[in-house]
Structure 1
Amino acid sequence: MLGPSVIHHAPTLGVIPVPHGPETGEEYEDYPAMAHGAGATEQERRILGHMTHPDDSFTPEGVYWADLPFRERIKFVSRVQAAEDRKEARATWEMFKKDPLSPVSYYFRNAVLPGAGLGLEGYVLFSIGNLQPLFAATWPQCWADTGKECTNNWVAAVTYLEVVGIMAGQVGVGIIGDWIGRRWGLIQDAMIMFIGLLMLTASWGLNLNGWVICYAWSLFFYGFGVGGEYPITATSSMENAVSAGRLSTREDRLHRGRKVTMAFLMQGWGQLINQGLLIILLLIFHHGSGDPPYSAVATQWTFRVSFALPAVGTLWLVYYRTYKMRGAGEQLKASKKKHNVTGYDSTSLKLACSEMGGRLLATAGTWFANDVMFYGGRLYISKFIQVLTPGNKSVMVTWVWNLCNVIVSLAGYYLASLLIDNKLYGRKMMQQVGFFMCFLMFIIPAFNYGYYSSKAGIHAFQAMYFLSSFFNQFGPNSVTFLVAGEVFPTPIRASAHGFSACVGKAGALLATVLFNYIDTQTKFYFFPWFGLAGMLLTWMFLPDTTGLDLKEQERRWSYIRQGKGDQYHGIAVHPTHLSLWERLRGIGKLYDPKLDERSRIEDLRAEWAEREAMRAEAEVAGNAKQLEELHDDHDFNESVHGYFTQTTTPEMKAMLASEKRGEKGGSSSASGSTVANSANPSPMLLPNPAAEDEITEEKPKSSAKKDKSSSKKDKSKEDKS
């Protein structure tokens, strides 16, 4: 065990030190040799506690929040959440006092801009469905079921090609995002969507059938860009929730889910803006009336202007992503550098399929079930409009009800973002409750369809429609988008998200095809069971990552990648953060906080050694930007630096830096497990107490005093936080 640190006084330059003489020099702190058993010493906890036991996840006694008894867990989580709420309220008030519009600009930077691509995607895709009844009313000879001027297959292909394009983009851009980088994927998506919108705006043909063919292929092209927005926006929003390349921050642990869902809910705003704008445009170009008959000129102006307006926003998005998001993907670069990978990390992909197959089944399967349910919601609106307004042929009635539904959905989006990081509710519970409520909202009218589709029960039918929309957003639609990337490691995060989204879109395609072949009553019998299946898949195979530090997930992945997964004992294998399937496989038995405490310190030592090597290279190369980034990382403060400097031999420092940076094919997991788990560690790996005085002398005389004061300041800051 480490003893207490000893304060020494350095001799004053030019003065010969005399035994029992006056203490003339500056103070510096000497760190005794570290222990090699399980657990950490009090001194190590004091110096490294802000990294190993952050106060938003651990009690002052070092107990993880998920290890607390139920009542104490509620108290701890509520206390941390209340403190964070007060902190955010104070910060917002201070911003408001300085500039009343600054909270709005903050929201714009942190929610609107990251989700701008999804907002444009929601706008255009929602527009496709809204425009079809207008096209059918204007050109029945082509879009109506009895139309003969256009080929039926091409009219149907408008929907199918759109979905196929989205699926191709989800998989393709997901791979590109992990291979070339997040920033390239973001720019490419915006460019494709911009060109696609120009194609949709200018779509034309020698006749109606030619226009339909041009319109369908334009949707396919645009759909590829839209599909890519799913994996690339989710991963970049998640990884940019913290500063470049850094995973372990308070912001990440407490607000990672909110950061992603606030970007995702821009999809709902896109739908709202589209529906409102279509209503306004039709009134403008149809002489102030929304009633049929609709002229071809009014319809042409309405749909072309509705596509041209988002093209302007998408062009601006190309500029913003090109020149203002240069740091996107830093976390991926750091991960590739760590594992000595260039290009696509196929090793991680193979490992993920074998080690995390259950998670992939959960993310892809639940997304599939949700999309079937989501598109099944169309069953409601056509039926209750038919009952409430018999004989109605105006598209305006349908559009107004759609507008009401989008507003209800937005409430679900915002409530999801509010509670998705709450450790007492969180991702998994939210998705299960959402699926179950959607199941109820479909199964109830399915077995009493005659009553609910009559005038006597139509208002209850409407209520169930709006409730299903609310719980779809306050449930699986928001959660699937988040966890499809979150539960996987950085090297294959975009690929896993893209694959899951692609499987989900296959559910939408299934629902679209089935709509053409079964009657309404049968549809209500068919769709509810996907809600139940989604709930069961979530319960069995989806882990709950609420409150989990992503750095711990990356630590575990490093161990797995080195073939030492059974040597990881940290919170990423805590039963709370594992699925039922993973617990049945015995993965949760690896959790041992005492064993992990020593491993974490040694992993931090390896990370520190890597940083020192990077600092030396940056100084030689004169890279001021990298030096500034290293200096701004407050986790590795002067106290931490002093501790590792005096308890790490030069040989060990060089070897750890080499392994950490992949020069010998190793990783931080290898270095950590070597010291912590080896029964007879090599003497070179052990700190050399005899060399400590030499190391101490190399340290500037004033550094110990700075370390001491820095430690006190850091502790004070943590207490205030």
Structure 2
Amino acid sequence: MAGDQLPVLKALDSAKTQWYHITAVVISGMGFFTDAYDLFCISPVTKLLGRIYFQVEGAKSPGSLPPNVASVVNGVALCGTLAGQLFFGWLGDKLGRKRVYGMTLLLMIMCSIASGLSFSKEPKAVMTTLCFFRFWLGFGIGGDYPLSATIMSEYANKRTRGRFIAAVFAMQGFGIVAGGSFSLLISALFAAKFQSQPYGLDPIGSTVPQADYVWRIILMAGSVPAALTYYWRMKMPETARYTALVAKNEKQAAADMSKVMHIDLKSEQEMVEKMAQKPANEFGLFSVEFARRHGFHLLGTMSTWFLLDIAYYSQNLFQKDIFSAIGWIPPAYAMNAIQEVYMVAKAQTLIALCSTVPGYWFTVAFIDSIGRFKIQILGFFMMTAFMFGLAIPYNYWTQKEHLIGFVVLYSLTFFFSNFGPNATTFVVPAEIFPARVRSTCHGISAASGKLGAIIGAFGFLYLAQNQDKAKADRGYPAGIGVKNSLLVLGAISFVGMLFSFLVPESKGKSLEEMSGENENANGAEAGLEQAPTNNQTALDI
């Protein structure tokens, strides 16, 4: 049975939904809004960069980034994100969540602006400078993953904790829509001002000088939401669980939460000292005891996030190639540079509005009633089914009369990734590990995901583009690289479903129940069950 729990933690677990919950969701979520904007706005930008800096003089088709350059531009921010997740996850456990939280935003603000200031007429210099600042932008973005998830989990009550953490992550969907919408707006404004011909009638490869401003403005706009959030993020108090369980200052934790929750909480410092003496609270990340209690859990969160992100980021980053391959957007030679940005952004925004955003919010609505495990299994299974459903009869779907069916199935893969493992892999690592290593373990799990995303960006994107070029040179149908990539991604999703059985269900349990932090030395091992014992459903927000 669970041992004694501190009064301040009991109060947090049993608290009704209050304004501070909503405030924490918005403040933490705006970081993810910015993250998604910065990571995914690069897709239409790469089209423009190819037109501006890699146009071959006298060529009959518009310029495009070479596959190796495209992979680096798309993937370098993901490399930075991986490093940031590991570093800031560790730092959040060492210095505290709040002290580190502002650093990530400042880095994102500065590097978003700097990314748009890559001034040079030499393509190599522009790409090098852009990649340098996008790496450090990703470094800041990476810190937001473990810190936002950990802070929200430690603020929330146990009945609706999953809903609150998922809501933070769901802001990523709005960031994707904002990136596409802003790209639409800027490209439309520039097209209206500087273009005289309707779509499809401008000269082949037409690139007006003003096109160079478009991609810079799109990238620099990512600094705005981060800047607007900084003040409020700095006003948040340190989480009670870090202050009480890690810093061992239950009095300060009670005082902080009394102000937040507007109730009088009694401090019991003697209980903190008593709990700190229990052997169950002493094991570290690299100890045998951690491996025995949470080793398979960490393997489960790492492997499922890794496999999910290979599929998810590959799809997102080569959306534009899929749209072109199936003929959903006009070929590049039929549009000028700004028009191409407009068309790619429009297609991405439509996919996000119809599938990505609803998927996130379905998870928010049902995660505390259905449970994390069932949603994750369902999501992986449906992703597998739809990817195979697209890839096996690929030639059928790419016929003009069947394009709508292709787009619908393709959209459903995004819906079930977000009403599925893309959300749950973010939620669960913030719930099942002890407070003193919670941010670190979340950072390790998230970094595993970004390793998968890097494989998607550098591997599958490069594979799809090169296979298409090589096969086309030998007379094969266009899009064969996309077909093969979808087959591989479907298989990866199936393996992700299998690894999900390593991840415990945390629905309805307190963080201390899952981590074992309120167990006595000889007590039961909390959190090792694979299914919940508390079937209580979430309260309405």
TM-score between the two structures when normalised by the length of structure 2: 0.77
Q: What letter corresponds to residue 567 of structure 1 in structure 2?
A: G
| Distance in 2, Cα, partners of 1:515 & 1:152 | 8
| Distance in 2, Cα, partners of 1:261 & 1:149 | 37
Q: What letter corresponds to residue 478 of structure 1 in structure 2?
A: A
Matches within 5 A, 1:550-565: 550-554=511-515, 556-557=516-517, 559=519, 564=521
Q: What letter corresponds to residue 557 of structure 1 in structure 2?
A: E
Whether 2:258 is the aligned partner of 1:353: answer: no
What's the offset of the Cα at 1:234? 0.6
Whether 2:417 is the aligned partner of 1:472: answer: yes
CA 1:390 to 1:231, structure 2 compared with 1: closer, same or farther past 3 Å? Answer: same
Q: Deviations over 1:671-715 (max 9, x none)?
A: xxxxxxxxxxxxxxxxxxxxxxxxxxxxxxxxxxxxxxxxxxxxx
Whether 2:402 is the aligned partner of 1:461: answer: no
Q: Deviations over 1:369-417 (max 9, x none)?
A: 1111113425666345443455354332222111111112111111110
Matches within 5 A, 1:186-335: 186-205=101-120, 207-241=122-156, 252-287=157-192, 291=199, 295=207, 297-322=209-234, 324-325=235-236, 327-335=237-245
**8 Å contact kept, 2:92–2:440:** yes
SS for the counterpart of 2:210 is: helix
Q: Deviations over 1:83-118 (max 9, x none)?
A: x9xx98xx9xxxxxxxxxxxxx98962432221111
The range that moved more, 503-512 or 167-176, is 503-512
**8 Å contact kept, 2:397–2:403:** yes
**Larger radius of gyration between Structure 1 and Structure 2:** 1
Q: Residue 401 of structure 1 corresponds to which residue in structure 2?
A: 347
What's the offset of the Cα at 1:262? 0.9
| Distance in 2, Cα, partners of 1:376 & 1:151 | 17
| Distance in 2, Cα, partners of 1:150 & 1:569 | 54
| Distance in 1, Cα, partners of 2:206 & 2:308 | 36
Matches within 5 A, 1:637-676: none
The runs of at least 4 consecutive aligned structure 1 residues that moved more than 6 Å come to 105-108, 146-152
Q: Deviations over 1:341-360 (max 9, x none)?
A: 9xxx8724524234211111
**8 Å contact kept, 1:377–1:465:** no
Q: Residue 523 of structure 1 corresponds to which residue in structure 2?
A: 485
What's the offset of the Cα at 1:263? 1.0
CA 1:349 to 1:187, structure 2 compared with 1: closer, same or farther past 3 Å? Answer: farther
| Distance in 2, Cα, partners of 1:347 & 1:489 | 9
Q: Residue 426 of structure 1 corresponds to which residue in structure 2?
A: 371
**8 Å contact kept, 1:150–1:208:** no
Q: Residue 359 of structure 2 corresponds to which residue in structure 1?
A: 412
CA 1:156 to 1:443, structure 2 compared with 1: closer, same or farther past 3 Å? Answer: closer
Aligned length: 464
Structure 2 residues not aligned, in runs of 5+: 249-271, 468-480, 535-541
1:382 paired residue among 308, 316, 321: 321
Structure 1 residues not aligned, in runs of 5+: 1-37, 41-47, 57-83, 92-104, 242-251, 579-590, 592-721
| Distance in 2, Cα, partners of 1:187 & 1:346 | 29
Q: Residue 431 of structure 2 corresponds to which residue in structure 1?
A: 486
| Distance in 1, Cα, partners of 2:306 & 2:153 | 22
What's the offset of the Cα at 1:154? 5.4
Q: Residue 524 of structure 2 corresponds to which residue in structure 1?
A: 568
Pick 1 or 2: higher relative contact order, CA cutoff 8 A, min separation 6. Answer: 2
Q: Residue 55 of structure 2 corresponds to which residue in structure 1?
A: 141
Q: What letter corresponds to residue 259 of structure 1 in structure 2?
A: F
Q: What letter corresponds to residue 242 of structure 2 in structure 1?
A: L
SS for the counterpart of 1:141 is: coil
Q: Deviations over 1:423-457 (max 9, x none)?
A: xx111000000000000011122222221222243
**8 Å contact kept, 1:142–1:209:** no
Q: What letter corresponds to residue 117 of structure 1 in structure 2?
A: G
| Distance in 2, Cα, partners of 1:389 & 1:543 | 43
| Distance in 2, Cα, partners of 1:233 & 1:406 | 23
Whether 2:80 is the aligned partner of 1:165: answer: yes
| Distance in 2, Cα, partners of 1:316 & 1:486 | 29
What's the offset of the Cα at 1:277? 0.9
CA 1:107 to 1:401, structure 2 compared with 1: closer, same or farther past 3 Å? Answer: farther
**8 Å contact kept, 1:204–1:215:** no
Whether 2:477 is the aligned partner of 1:537: answer: no
| Distance in 1, Cα, partners of 2:398 & 2:66 | 34
Q: Deviations over 1:543-598 (max 9, x none)?
A: 010111223235x2354xx7x3x52277x4556249xxxxxxxxxxxx9xxxxxxx
TM-score between the two structures when normalised by the length of structure 1: 0.59
| Distance in 2, Cα, partners of 1:447 & 1:297 | 43
Matches within 5 A, 1:115-130: 115-130=29-44
SS for the counterpart of 1:220 is: helix
Among all aligned residue pairs of Structure 1 and Structure 2, give the percentage whose two residues are the same amino acid: 24
| Distance in 2, Cα, partners of 1:39 & 1:435 | 33
**8 Å contact kept, 1:446–1:524:** yes
| Distance in 2, Cα, partners of 1:471 & 1:389 | 24
Q: What letter corresponds to residue 398 of structure 2 in structure 1?
A: S
What's the offset of the Cα at 1:151? 9.0
